[in-house]
Each structure stands twice: as structure tokens, then as C-alpha cells.
Amino acid sequence: MDLVIPQKVSTIGADLRRLMGHDKVKDDFPTLRAYAVDASIYRMTPQVVVLPDGEADIERVMDYAVRRSIPLTTRAAGTNLTGSAVGSGIILDVSRLNRVLELNRDEKWARVQPGIILNELNKQLSSAGLMFGPDPSSGDMCKLGGMLANNSSGPHTLRYGSVKDNVLSMRVCLESGGWLNAGVEALESAQCRQTFEQFTALESVVHLVRDHRELIHAKRPRVSKNSAGYNLFDVATGIDQGVVDFPKLFVGSEGTLGVFSEATIQLVDRPHATVTGMIHFQHLEEMGEAVHHLLKLDPLALEVMDANTLDLIGRAQYHIPEDSAATLLIEFDQGGDHGGIAQLKEVCRRFRLASDPVIATDPEHQQNLWKARKALYPTLYRYNAKKKPINYVDDVVVSADRLGELIRYLNDVFGKAHVPLAIFGHIGNGNAHILPLLDVNDENDFQRMVDTYYEVHRTILEQFGGSICGEHGDGRIRAEMVKRMFGEELYGLFVKVKQALDPAGVLNPGVKISETPFTEHIDFERLSKPCATCAKCNSVCPVYDVFQSEDMSSRGWFEIVTAPDYSYLNSKRVVEACLNCKSCRTICPADVDVSELILQRRAEHPNKLAGKIFGLHAQQAKFEKLIKLAAKTQDLWDRPVIRRIMDALSRPFLKQLAENARFPWNMKLPRLAKTLLRERHRELCVVPPSSSLQKEKKVAYFHGCAANYFEDGVGDAVIQVMKRYGVTPDLPPQRCSGTPIETYGHRALAKEGARENLKNFDGYETVVTGCASCTLALKDYEKWFKGEPEEETATRLAKKVKHISEFALDQETVRPSSKKSSVPQKVTYHSSCHLRAAGVTKQPRQLLTNLPGVDYVEMQDADRCAGGAGTYIVKDYTTSQKIFQRKKTAIHQSQAEVVATSCPACMIQLKNGLPAKTAVKHIAQVLLENMDETESG
């Protein structure tokens, strides 16, 4: 019998719940575990997490932290690489403050809350032809609040500058009480005097800067970008010009001077057309020389990856020549005519290249060229099970013309230390990201880290005259180096600024202004694991999308289920929240499958009610009789009044399945089949061939449960499509593929059915599927049976499985089908999560694009989960519908008449959530409708 271990109740949590309500305050084990990490090398367990939904909440928390002297750390996406998003006191997660409050298209500015993801912001701005210029490579998961805190920039800094160059004003909650509208004010104006009267600490800071302008100007870093220390440099320049630029003071302050609730940001026109080039240099010196010429093209971005980096991430995967000593990525805006291509080729002809430059003008090709650069850091986690990329000298800046010299120096230093090294970054402005690969749990590697930390930073400052930080912030990792960079006198001014605005010392202590050694709080436990905690998985996690809380996210779940003191009983609410959509697996550059870890934990506590249902389901003859009985009586029980009664009566029973499980009375159910698919096609239901008959090139159709039990025409359409291509499939005996069974923890039962499927389908050359989850499950059998006798058979099967869209495209190259001539319908495509995880992404889109009766339109968020996820719509209907809202909006904006997809649960969700005028069809049905009735010969 499992014992429930009582958790220690936090008095801080109790106090804050009384102030703010239960929904906004969390302090249970999974929450604190999830928020103990960000994307840095540190771990600090907080005492409580607060999720504010307005300025009043922020002010209450600030007041409470100051009165109780409790550290307060503001956090957004937690993608920070320096440890400034973790803390030992209160974590204030602003993720739920994620709206665009106002947009002025004419003047090109927007008022935006700090919890909005950069890519989401730019999606919303795209309809106005605008975007926010700064673009960190983590743009698909980083949030505006973190960008403001760190003064982020990114690859396109060359054109658009850093965040500090693009902020017009901010709303800042100050420790002294009240909200500052931080804009640019004339120093002698009545407005400025009023600001000083309300916030005397600000007046003292301005006087401090004014009185020390000579020192501040003398110590200004002589490089193109800098985020080290407080930005008193631009404040002093403003004072010289008679203004106080308050945003310059707060941007880049990393939560140590105040808390932001919104910012008014300057926007730029979205480029109409860009050119992306990839250039492979045989010699490092020539790469450095080429930069001078390439900058004359006025590029939007100019990025570098050195030879070591290319070796570590795998040259073959990204089509990079073996003799490339360095690879440059260049992007420029040519207004649609791409006249710069000729100039780019002309520059390249001057140098010895490993291959001709690759030039891309279409978005998909450009995206592929950028893929390696944008996923570089987490991809390095695949390099070695023990040696991980460690961010501790990761953000230095030197003069752009000395970057080649810097790369040679770094290769020498780390080469002598026998440390693998990746160097990449923004060569156009001399900003290098340096990632040594180390095992910090090894005593020798740990000492190498300490030695090179001081050696590299000293050399950057003394020999290169550079900066220790260009865009990632000082955080905890570089705080002790700030004094060394700026000297005692200027560092003393930084301390006085901090003391003036944070007299209680509670705002992110240990960050930016601190002499604590960088080795404090290193997370030795996590750095021995495969996850980079980069949060790419959070960017696609449908549960995180709804709850905006780290304990309800893929990254948080990894931390929770791999914790040494993990317990299902104190983590059940989060472990059972996962949809098993596999989106995290699909996107993870480090090849971590969080959903698999969740399933392993569920298997330790399989759901008893689900076990009984699936046990009955395994008795196919008996279960099919029940399905047909339900089908024959569906007109009786599938009525609003009866369904309401069923909904009410079944809730206590369904609580055994999940706390929020219900059978919603208003959910449209698919029609159950009175005559099952296998009964409708008895002539195809054959005894499976043995593997010795494989040469006969037989094709089998694995229809799955839904196509057999539902009267929706999907299974019939798949069969008819195959016949139109001249292929008559077999329907050998089959059990459930196992996905829904495994989802409830019954892995042994799932594998029992899988063994039968392996036996029955092994003799076929091709196994065609129509269901997304079945496609993935059949391909995953080799993982299920790794190290077991069935592994070889499972590996063979995985290579034979083809989704109907893959099968149809293959057939089109061999025996094109004749298509109907009809008025095109506007069709969009919802990409089912499990089909993406199975590697089938382009084929359905290509198939639809090629159909003459289809006007294909790609909707925004086509690759986002729709929230159906098998039986999740029953397990947690409310959350399921919240997940669906994003998809519903995207479909509406696409103006599609038909939504094509491949997942039965997705089809149920779509049919429930969309208006009747929008048809939902399986991709095989769309294909069949556009094919002539004559079978191919």
C-alpha cells in the first residue's frame, strides 16, 4: 500500500493565497521542482510561485516581498542562459500577461505585455505587415519580458539593433511603491519634476549619473553591443542631450530594479522578400576577410559556425562539406528583385570555398538553412551522454574584424585543455557564443571550466578590449566579472543604483550585481541528464499553452518525473495532464521524448478502470457485439435529454478514469457502425501470409479501431483510394495498435496486442495506415520491444509502414490516377501530432496541393495540437476545449471550406468545435472525391 507523505505547508504560500486567491499561488512539490531550473546551468528551489493576471497582483507581491524580506525573481519563459530566472524566494511568473494591448499601424508601435512569446507577437503583427525587430534564436519560446530584462538582440541586430533600441516606454513597478510610466522625459520639464517627486530614488539615480558622466563615458565598452552592467552609458548620453531615457535604465536590468507589466515597443516593416545564403569557407582567415565585403551588402543578418561546431552537430545532416573551416549564413532584404544575389556571388568568387554558395529565396528553403543555427545549443546535447554544452563564457563581444582571431585563440585555449568546443554567433557585430562540452561532475572537467572561465574573460577584456556579455545578460554566471570589466569606481555606481531602487535587496539578489562565485548553485544533477531545458518543447506543448505554468509543461514534467524524490502520489495532477501528443518529441533537438517518460511513470500506476475497458476491448468478438448494439440503439440514447442524464450519472464512475473526466452531453459523437468495416469488406479479411511469401509484394491495410467501429467512411475511403491505384489490400487480423492502452499505463496489455500485430503483418511488403496514432505506434514497436525477441520483427515492420498520403504520392509517380475536373474547394490541413511524430509532414500537404479540385491554403498553427488526443476529450473535456481555441481561430482565419486531417480524435474535436459550414474530412476522403471512379490499371 502506498503511503501519502504530507507536504510541508509554506506560510509564504498561505499568506499569498489569502492576498490573491488559490489559483494564482502554487507551492506543491511539482511546481517548486519545475521552477527550480531555467535554461542555465543552475538550480535554485523557490518557496512559492505566483502567476499574476494584472498589475494589482504584481504590486501585492512586491509589497509582500519587501515587508517580509523575501527574494523576488520575475520570470517569463525561463529560457535565460545565465540563471536570472531562478531564485530561492518568490517566483513571479508573468506568462499569463500575454496580450497585445494596443497597436498603432501608422506610427508602428504596440503596447505589449511581458508574457507574450516573440513568435506569437510577430504572428499577430504580421497582418499589419509589421514585426518586432530583435529576434533571439529562441524566438519560438522566449517571451518579451525576458527580452526586456536581458536586452536581447539576435541574428538581425545588424539591421534592427537590440531591445533597448526598440523600446519607447515601459510600465515598471518600483519597490518604493506605485507604477512608473518609464518613457523619455525632458530633464527640465514639469513632467520630469513630477516623476522625481513621486519617485525620489529615480532622482538620486539621475543625479548620480549626471555627476559621473565623464567616468561613465570613459568606461563605455567600445564594441557594437553590450548587456553587461547597468546601461548608465545611454542614460548619460541622454542627459547630455537634456533628456532622461528611463527605458534605457530598466532594459537589461534583469529584474533587479523593478518589475515590468508592459512595454510600448517600436515596430518595423516586415521584409517583403529576403535572400538567405550559406557560404562554406576552406580557410578561417578568408572567412574573416570576407565579412568586411559582405557587410557592404547591408545584410539583415550575418552568422558564423566554426569547424568544430559543424563537426559536433553533424555535417552530413545539414549538407555541409567536410573541408569547410567555417560556414557563414547571410540574409539580406532585396525588396523582391533579389538583386543582391549577383553581388553575393561576386564576393564569394574572391575566396576559396568548400562548395558553391547555397542561395535560397523561398521560405521553406531559407528555413532549412537556418535550422542548424537556431537549434544549435540543444542539438549539442546529443554529442555525448556525459559531456554537455556549458554556458559560462557564452556571450563575448569583440570588434567584428577580430572574430577570426578570437576563434583561433579559443581553439588554442580549449584545444590545450582537451575540451571539445563549439563557436557560433553574430559575426557581423563580433558577438561569439562559445560552448565548451564538459562533464561538470568530473573533477578534472570542473577545474577546466573554472580555469577557462577566468582565462577567457580576462583575455576578452585585456587583449581584445571587448565585452563579457552581448545579449544574454550577466545573470549569476557573469555577475562576479562585472566589477573586473568596469573597474571599482563604475561598479560602485552600479551598486548605488541598485541600492537606490532596491533598498530592501529583494529584487533578484545574486544577479548582475554580486560577487558570489559563478560555481554556486550549479545543477550537477540536471547536467548529467539528456535534457537541455531550452524550453523548445514548451513552445508546442498544448497543456502549457492553456495553463502558462511551468509545472504544466513538457520541460517542467521532465524535471518532475526524473526527480530523485519523485512520487506519483504528489505529482499525479501533472503526470496525468499530459495528452501524449508527442509534440515535445517531434521538436526536441536533443532527442528527448518527455511523453515517453510520462508513460513510463503512468505504467507504474496503471488506471484500473481503463484496464477493465481495454481488457474487454481485447476480447474482440464480445466488444464488437457491444459496439453494434450501441450502434443499433444510438438514435435512442444519443439525444440531448438522455445524454444529459448519462453525463450526470456517469461522472462519479468516470472519476476513476480521471478527476475531470466526463461524457459531455453536448459533444457530437461519431455514428457507430451497425456493420463493421471488416464485415463490409469480408473478401479482404484474409489469413496473413508468412514472411516467406514476401516476394509476392502484398499490401495490407492496418485500419485501426476507429475506422472499424465508426460509420464515417474513412476506412472505406482508404480502401477505395488504394483500389483506384490498382492495389487491393488485405485486411489481416489485427488488434488495437496500442497507443490509447499505453496512455493509461497498461503497457503490458498494449504489447500483448502489438505481438499479434507483428505476427500478422510481418509477411507483407507494405502496410498502409490511415490513422495517425496507428502509424506512429506501428513505427514505434521497435522501441517497445528493444532488447526483446520481437525487436527484429518490429524493426522490419517499422520500415514497411506507410501512411495513405505517403502511399498515394508514391503511386502518383508510378501510375498517376486520373483526376476529376471540378470547381476547387478551399481546403486547409490540420497536421495530427502523432503523424508528425511519425515523420509524415510534407506528404499530406503535397498531395492536397497537387489535387485540381483543391485550393490548398496553409493555416497558421497547422502543426499545433487540436486537443482531441484519443480519449483526452473525455478525460479532461474542459482543457481539451481550451486547447482547441487556437486551432479554431486559425481555421477561421484561413477561410477554408474543408479541413483535412488523419486522426479520428482530431476529426471528432474539429467536428465539435467548428461551424457546420466547415466540413471535416479524412485526407483519403478528400483524395477519393477528386479521383475518377475508374481504377488504375
Give the mean model confidence (pLDDT) for residues 254-281. 94
Task: Read off φ and ψ for residue 766, nearest 5 degrees.
Answer: -135, 135
Q: For residue 749, is pLDDT > 50? A: yes
Report d(CA 847, CA 843) in Å as an integer.
6
Give the mean model confidence (pLDDT) for residues 50-71. 97
Q: Identify the three-state secondary structure at position 101.
A: strand
Task: Read off φ and ψ for residue 395, nearest 5 degrees.
Answer: -145, 35
Report d(CA 235, CA 252) in Å as an integer.
13
Summarize pLDDT for 901-913 with one digit per residue, the tens: 999 999 999 999 9
| Distance (Å) of CA 733 to CA 253, 684, 769, 792 | 65, 11, 14, 21
Question: Is the model more confident about 359 or about 112?
Answer: 112
**What would you report as the CA-atom Rg of the chain, rounded to the nearest whole angstrom?**
30
In eight-state DSSP terms, residue 661 is: -
Q: For residue 681, is pLDDT > 60? A: yes
Strand partners, 359: 277
Asked if 457 contacts 468 with a C-beta cutoff of 8 angstroms, the reply is yes
Question: Is the model more confident about 334 or about 262?
Answer: 262
Please give the grid coordinates belonging to residue 171: 510600465
Res 804: pLDDT: 97
Instruction: Kindly give, in sequence order, each residue whose CB lies less than 8 Å from that of residue 162, ignoring residues fewer than 6 positions away.
Output: 134, 151, 152, 153, 225, 227, 471
Summarize pLDDT for 86-95 with one digit per residue, the tens: 999 999 999 9
Res 692: pLDDT: 45
In eight-state DSSP terms, residue 189 is: S
Q: For residue 693, is pLDDT > 50? A: no
Give me the DSSP letters along 663-680: --TTSPPPPBPSS-HHHH
Contacts 24+ apart (CB under 8 A), 779-783: 779/838, 779/839, 781/754, 781/757
Report d(CA 348, CA 344) in Å as an integer.
6
Report d(CA 262, CA 270) in Å as an integer.
23
802 torsion bin: left (phi>0), alpha (psi -120 to 50), beta (else): beta
Q: How many CB atoms lie within 10 A of CB 296?
A: 9
Q: What single-letter amino acid sits at 856?
A: Y
Q: How far is CA 340 from the centre of its chain?
A: 33
Percent of the chain topping pLDDT 90: 82
Give the mean model confidence (pLDDT) for residues 626-632. 96
Q: For residue 317, is pLDDT > 70? A: yes
Q: For residue 855, is pLDDT > 80? A: yes
Closest CA to 230 of 446, 456, 499, 429: 499
Strand partners, 526: none
Q: Identify the three-state secondary structure at position 36.
A: coil
Q: How far is CA 43 from the centre of its chain?
A: 21
Res 932: pLDDT: 76
Q: For residue 299, is pLDDT > 60? A: yes
Res 819: pLDDT: 66
Summarize pLDDT for 906-937 with one digit per residue, the tens: 999 999 999 999 999 999 999 999 887 755 44
Report d(CA 568, CA 550) in Å as an integer.
18
Give me the DSSP letters along 488-505: HHHHHHHHHHHHHH-TT-
Banded model confidence at residue 1, pLDDT cuts 50, 70, 90: very low
Half-sphere exposure at residue 899, Cβ-oriented, CA atoms within 13 angstroms? 31
Summarize pLDDT for 384-430 with one digit per residue, the tens: 889 999 999 999 999 988 988 999 999 999 999 999 999 998 988 99
Mean pLDDT of the chain: 93
Res 935: pLDDT: 53
Q: Are strands 72-75 and 90-93 parallel, antiparallel or unpaired?
A: parallel
Summarize pLDDT for 641-678 with one digit per residue, the tens: 999 999 999 999 999 999 999 999 999 999 999 999 99
Residue for cell digits 572537467? 445
Res 3: pLDDT: 36
Closest CA to 761 of 698, 676, 696: 698
Q: Are strands 699-702 and 326-333 parallel, antiparallel or unpaired?
A: unpaired
Q: Whole-model pTM?
A: 0.94
Return the beta strands (E) in 197-325 as ranges. Answer: 243-245, 259-266, 268-269, 274-281, 301-306
Give the mean model confidence (pLDDT) for residues 893-897. 95
Asked if 435 contacts 377 with a C-beta cutoff of 8 angstroms, the reply is yes
Report d(CA 111, CA 97) in Å as an integer.
12
Res 42: pLDDT: 97
As a three-state string, the secondary structure of 378-435 is HHHHHCCCCCEECCCCCCEECCHHHHHHHHHHHHHHHHHCCCCEEEEEEHHHCEEEEE
Summarize pLDDT for 432-485 with one digit per residue, the tens: 999 999 999 999 999 999 999 999 999 999 999 999 999 999 999 999 999 999
Strand partners, 920: 899
Report d(CA 743, CA 578) in Å as an integer.
9
Task: Read off φ and ψ for residue 556, nearest 5 degrees.
Answer: -60, -40
As a three-state string, the secondary structure of 319-373 is CCCCCCCEEEEEEEECCCCCCHHHHHHHHHCCCCECCCCEEECCHHHHHHHHHHH
Give the mean model confidence (pLDDT) for residues 274-291. 89
Give the mean model confidence (pLDDT) for residues 131-159. 94
Q: For residue 730, is pLDDT > 60? A: yes
Give the mean model confidence (pLDDT) for residues 141-169. 95
Res 2: pLDDT: 40
Res 335: pLDDT: 60
Q: Are strands 898-901 and 825-829 parallel, antiparallel or unpaired?
A: parallel
Asked if 80 contacts 252 with a C-beta cutoff of 8 angstroms, the reply is no
| Distance (Å) of CA 651 to CA 624, 664, 868, 898 | 25, 10, 19, 34
Give 3-state DSSP helix, strand, coil % of the chain, rounded to 5: 45, 15, 40
